A and B are shown apart, each in its own frame.
Chain A
Amino acid sequence: MQSTTILLDPTAELQTAARQLLPRLKSIAGATVGLLDISKPRGKEFLDEVQKHLEEAGAKVKRYSKPTFTRVAPTELTQKISVECDAVIEGLAD
């Protein structure tokens, strides 16, 4: 059995075959940026610093945290972030 699946590109092949990133923000100023703390030790200090820089650049910052770093964020949390924010930065630590 083949381990990989091949599909034929249905498009005009004007873009790369790799999955496309979502459109990037044109400017941080005026945007609402979510900071997601993944709940590892000292994530707060790191994200506090990130928040300071973002606010200096004119962004509005909202803070979120995952219940535990061991699992992916709950659907409710990702939906809340997608409704409330224009972009999100997932904050690591350690």
Chain B
Amino acid sequence: MNQAREIQLENYVLVVKKDCPTCTLIEPVILSLAKNKSLSLKIYVQDDPSFPANLDGVIDDSSLEYSYQADIEVVPTLIRLNDAQSEESRIYGWDKKQWQSFTRIEELGAELIDFKPGCGSKTQDPGMSEVLALRFGKQILQARAVELAEAEDIMEACYDRGWSDGLPVVPPTPLRVMRMLSGSERDAAEIVGKVPPDNVPCTIEKIAINAVMAGCKPEYFPVVIASVEAALQDRFCMHGLLCTTYFSSPVMVVNGPITKQIGMNSGVNALGQGNRANATIGRALQLIIRNVGGGVPGGIDRANMGNPGKYTYCFAEDESDENWLSLASDRGFERNDSVISLFAGDGLQPILDQQSRTPQSLMKSMALSLRSVAHTKLFGMADAILIVCPEHRRVFREGGWNKEDLRKALHEELMTPGTEVIRGANDIAEGMPVKFKNKMLNKFRDDGLHIVTTGGTAGMFSAIIGGWVASGERGSQLTSQKI
């Protein structure tokens, strides 16, 4: 063949699939283009290489490799190549005039209707983009591949390698990890920080692997990343919290629009089982501490009992009352910010009060219960979260109190003469050092009592999450991170 003539040929690439009515509509157009000696046409078919009928040389792209590399979104797509054989421009769907001018063939498809939109490329099928990225894309997964023996049960294999908190984990296959990574814009190789106790650099990818194992959906992933970022802040003191013989562990409160977007529970049974987002976001951080940080019970984790929240302890705040400040608002964020706050806390202590109908009575009821945090004679040691249930919040609101009124009243109510709580007082050896005998003490240090609302609308049951006895600057402080 004459080389000069070959260079003058217009080169086109067409991507089609048989299962697309627009592609079948333009079958005569494809045949006429294929037979046209003044141009060169490569045809890729995504589903059935016998389409278009009676045409040789059609390229089977059922692996979708070409379609993926060429970033095809719609079929049919017609691409014109330049002399260097790279893309010059493309059109998609069927628009008769557009095809005629694009190919410079005036009568092309004259017998067909003027316009018919195309269909989605098979590369756009649900879940396909990560499959193709794994198969044909840039290698972004860096974690060590663990190959299981043929006889190994996948679930048992995860236990055998020590990756589980005791409950089954979702096996972290490369595809699942790719899908988790798609839940965030962050680069898989980005290092978020060093995870205690081993102080190991933790990548977004390692967070994704553990989020998969915890059972997270990709849409939860930004919350999980933020939880890790919060946990790694110095003020949260994750290392000490992990090592302590005390009960505490991270408790997570999530605020803002993301709680609704990902379906977190801030209503009935908010601190209980049954909501996937609540359950798995809290669990993901625990698995990261275990697997990336190396913090395992009986190893660096020295808790004498621990608490059930060490599996997972995460809930959303009920922000339905716009006149009642949320925890995130207390920490300086806006209502439309999504924020996760980590608190070093332990179990749940109920405050049952079905009789109080005035803010004053209910506040005193709560204050009395709050004295029990850690020990009724220990003051200023452990922070706490007071969870005001919706019905109790209503009592305060109807009595004209807002959250700040409650906070101030609790502070005053919890002022206590040292003489009542020093060691030996009330015939109990435990208590505050005797040097506090003549001082007025508060149960909580400044910024040591956090108030949130969650739970169902029936039940006059508020609750206390007691904090770590190393609260404050010497230990852990509530840490909020924007999501």
Contacts and interface: CB of A to CB of B under 8 A. Distances in A.
B287 interface: yes
Interface in B181-198: 195, 198
B145 A3 contact: no
A14 interface: yes
B143 interface: yes
Contact of B172 (A3, A4, A7, A12): A7
The residue among A3, A8, A11, A12 with the most chain B CB atoms within 10 A of its own CB is A8
Interface in A1-31: 3-14, 17, 19-20
A34 B150 CA distance: 32
Nearest to B164: A10
B177 interface: yes
Interface in B86-121: none
A7 B291 CA distance: 14
A11 B145 CA distance: 11
B198 A10 contact: no
B171 A7 contact: yes
Contact of B291 (A4, A10, A17, A19): A10
B143 A9 contact: yes
B145 A4 contact: no
A9 B209 contact: yes
B144 A8 contact: yes
A12 B149 CA distance: 22
B63 interface: no
Contacts of A5: 147-148, 152, 154, 157, 171, 173
Contacts, number: 76
B209 A10 contact: yes
Contacts of A9: 143-146, 209
Contacts of B177: 8
A8 B209 contact: yes
B162 A8 contact: no
Nearest to A20: B162
Contact of B210 (A4, A10, A20): A10
Interface residues of B, number: 35
A74 B147 CA distance: 30
B141 interface: yes
A12 B144 contact: no
Contacts of B172: 7-8, 10
A38 to B, nearest CB: 21
A8 B147 CA distance: 9
B454 to A, nearest CB: 30
B294 interface: yes
B134 to A, nearest CB: 11
B294 A6 contact: no
A14 B171 contact: no
Nearest to A7: B146
A10 B210 CA distance: 6
Contact of A19 (B147, B160, B174, B198): B160
Contacts of B439: none
A8 B150 CA distance: 16
A12 B160 contact: no
B415 interface: no
Contact of A4 (B148, B160, B161, B294): B148
A2 to B, nearest CB: 10
Contacts of A14: 198, 200, 294
The residue among A11, A12, A14 with the most chain B CB atoms within 10 A of its own CB is A11
A12 B296 CA distance: 13
Given A5-B147, A6-B174, A11 B157 contact: no
B310 interface: no
Interface in B154-178: 154, 157-158, 160-163, 171-174, 177
Given A3-B150, A4-B150, A19-B161, A13 B174 contact: no
Contacts of A6: 145-148, 173-174
A3 B150 CA distance: 7
B287 A10 contact: yes
Interface of B: 141, 143-150, 152, 154, 157-158, 160-163, 171-174, 177, 195, 198, 200, 205-206, 209-210, 213, 287, 291-294
Given A9-B144, A10-B210, 20 more contacts: A4-B147, A5-B154, A5-B157, A6-B145, A6-B146, A7-B146, A7-B148, A8-B141, A8-B146, A8-B173, A8-B177, A9-B143, A9-B145, A10-B163, A10-B291, A10-B292, A11-B163, A11-B292, A12-B206, A14-B198
27 contacts: A4-B148, A5-B147, A5-B152, A5-B154, A5-B157, A6-B173, A7-B146, A7-B148, A7-B171, A8-B143, A8-B145, A8-B174, A8-B177, A8-B205, A8-B209, A9-B145, A9-B146, A10-B163, A10-B291, A11-B163, A12-B195, A12-B200, A12-B292, A12-B293, A12-B294, A13-B143, A14-B294
Interface of A: 3-14, 17, 19-20
Listed from nearest, the 8 A-B pairs whose CB atoms lie closest are A12-B200, A9-B144, A8-B143, A10-B291, A10-B209, A5-B148, A11-B291, A7-B146
